[in-house]
């Protein structure tokens, strides 16, 4: 909802210009013009939302000490001003931004910075105190801030096939699912605590904020189809003990394999099929792995089947065709407006 009206969040991923080197340490100034170009093109096509990555795996922010504790937002202390300026820029083009803080889809954590935050509550507490809380405080209420995305594709580094008496932590059903492709390093207990603490910090500082997590596939996020929703309120609170640390909407990613979507893909189902009472955004998809569908057909499907939004991958690589798909649905009605004014 925006200003009392239902909005369909339509747009794309602009995850990075320089991978992990866009924010903090005076890096934003070097990529700002390219991001602005993409915001203008997206707005002209009828889009309203952009998903952008911040820390990735801690390559340049936050600043860590030799023991792996976050001690500052970044070495040059520009992270907060960089993010604020990015949001100001987005507002000028009526674009909503979803900052994605961390990434589990690859394993480039050679310094163990992100691993420390996932495994150690002491290090995670330093991060939320020294980095996240000041960042949220600085941008809370910004008209261009749509939601916080805590972690991209947590399942990339999840350990599948683990039996646990608690369904929240049991990953037997995810064995041979593809989970763990980037390295089988973390339990669901560790991942859910990592999310819970950050979500709680955001909501303590900004009670109006929305929080999500970009899951790799609905297989980890629904109780339908004989699966387990590991990201429901119960699991997140149980893992981290913080009652505010829940997500407000689900974000499913979906790519076809050998030309076909799997049986739980959102492009094979209606929103209601997942049995989830919170909204669902299709947060990543593309035409190359689109099950034979064009961008136009994919955006059309997302709008007409009850989803709350669709963000394709990616504006840099597939921008022209992606924007054509957005333009095709820009005047649709019945599942939220797309023309917004910030």
Chain centroid to Cα 234, Å, comes to 20
* pLDDT (average), residues 331-340: 98
Cis peptide before 341 (omega within 30 of 0): no
Q: List b or e across 255-293, with b for residues whose CB sees 16 or more CB atoms inside 10 angstroms.
A: bbeeeebbebbbbebebebbebeebbbbbbbbbeebbeb
DSSP state of 338: -
Radius of gyration over every alpha carbon of the chain, rounded to an integer in angstroms: 19
Q: What is the mean pLDDT of residues 200-211?
A: 98
What CATH number has the domain spanning 9-329? 3.20.20.80
**Average pLDDT across the chain, whole number:** 98
User: H or E stretch including 188?
Assistant: helix 188-205
Q: How far apart are the first and last CA of the chain?
A: 13
d(CA 204, CA 191) in angstroms, rounded, equals 20
Q: How far is the C-alpha of 50 from the C-alpha of 333, rounded, in Å?
A: 21
Helix (H) or strand (E) run with residue 103 in it: strand 96-103
Which one from 115, 153, 205, 251 is the annotated catalytic residue? 153
Choose the catalytic residue: 38, 115, 155, 284.
284
CA distance 106 to 310: 23
pLDDT in tens, 47-96: 999 999 999 999 999 999 999 999 999 999 999 999 999 999 999 999 99
Report yes or no: 89 and 43 within 8 Å, Cβ to Cβ.
no
Cα within 13 Å of Cα(61), Cβ side: 29
**Which 8-state DSSP code applies to residue 75?**
T
For 292, half-sphere exposure in the C-beta direction (CA atoms, 13 angstrom radius) is: 6
Residue 93 is predicted with a pLDDT of 98
**pLDDT value at residue 224:** 98
- Establish whether 115 is a catalytic residue: no
Closest CA to 234 of 243, 226, 225: 243
Percent of the chain with pLDDT over 70: 100
Residue 239: what pLDDT?
98
**Can the peptide bond before residue 243 be classed as cis, meaning omega within 30 degrees of 0?**
no
Query: Per-residue pLDDT tens for 120-147?
Result: 999 999 999 999 999 999 999 999 999 9
C-alpha to C-alpha distance for 123 and 141, rounded to whole angstroms = 28
β-strands 280-284, 309-312: how paired?
parallel
pLDDT of residue 219: 98
| Residue boundaries of the structural domains of the chain | 9-329
pLDDT tens, residue by residue, 150-178: 999 999 999 999 999 999 999 999 999 99
Establish whether 251 is a catalytic residue: no
Nearest Cα neighbor of 51 from 326, 314, 338 is 314
Identify the band that residue 180 occupies on the pLDDT scale cut at 50, 70 and 90: very high
Is-contact 21 75, C-beta < 8 A?
A: no
Bridge partners, residue 2, by sequence: 5
């Amino acid at each position: 909802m925006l200003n009392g009206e239902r909005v369909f969040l339509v747009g794309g991923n602009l995850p990075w210009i320089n991978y992990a080197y866009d924010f903090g340490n005076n890096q934003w100034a070097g990529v700002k013009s390219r991001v602005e170009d993409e915001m203008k093109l997206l707005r002209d096509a009828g889009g309203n939302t952009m998903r952008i990555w911040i820390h990735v795996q801690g390559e340049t922010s936050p600043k860590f000490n030799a023991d792996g504790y976050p001690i500052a937002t970044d070495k040059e202390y520009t992270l907060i001003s960089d993010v604020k300026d990015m949001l100001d820029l987005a507002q000028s083009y009526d674009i909503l931004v979803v900052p994605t803080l961390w990434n589990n889809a690859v394993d480039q954590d050679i310094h163990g910075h992100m691993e420390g935050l996932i495994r150690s509550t002491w290090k995670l507490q330093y991060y939320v105190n020294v980095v996240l809380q000041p960042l949220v405080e600085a941008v809370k209420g910004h008209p261009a801030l749509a939601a916080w995305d805590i972690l991209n594709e947590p399942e990339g580094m999840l350990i599948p096939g683990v039996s646990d008496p608690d369904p929240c932590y049991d990953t037997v059903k995810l064995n041979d699912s593809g989970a763990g492709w980037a390295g089988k390093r973390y339990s669901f207990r560790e991942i859910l605590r990592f999310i819970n603490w950050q979500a709680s910090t955001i909501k303590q500082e900004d009670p109006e904020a929305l929080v999500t997590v970009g899951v790799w596939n609905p297989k980890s996020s629904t109780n339908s189809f004989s699966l387990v929703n590991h990201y429901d309120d119960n699991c997140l609170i149980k893992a981290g003990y913080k009652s505010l640390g829940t997500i407000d909407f689900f974000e499913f990613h979906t790519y076809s394999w050998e030309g076909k979507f799997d049986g739980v893909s959102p492009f094979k189902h209606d929103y209601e099929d997942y049995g989830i009472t919170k909204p669902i955004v299709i947060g990543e998809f593309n035409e190359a792995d689109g099950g034979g569908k064009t961008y136009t057909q994919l955006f059309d499907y997302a709008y007409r089947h009850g989803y709350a939004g669709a963000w394709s991958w990616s504006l840099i690589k597939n921008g022209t065709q992606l924007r054509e798909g957005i333009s095709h649905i820009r005047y649709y009605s019945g599942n939220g407006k797309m023309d917004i004014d910030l």
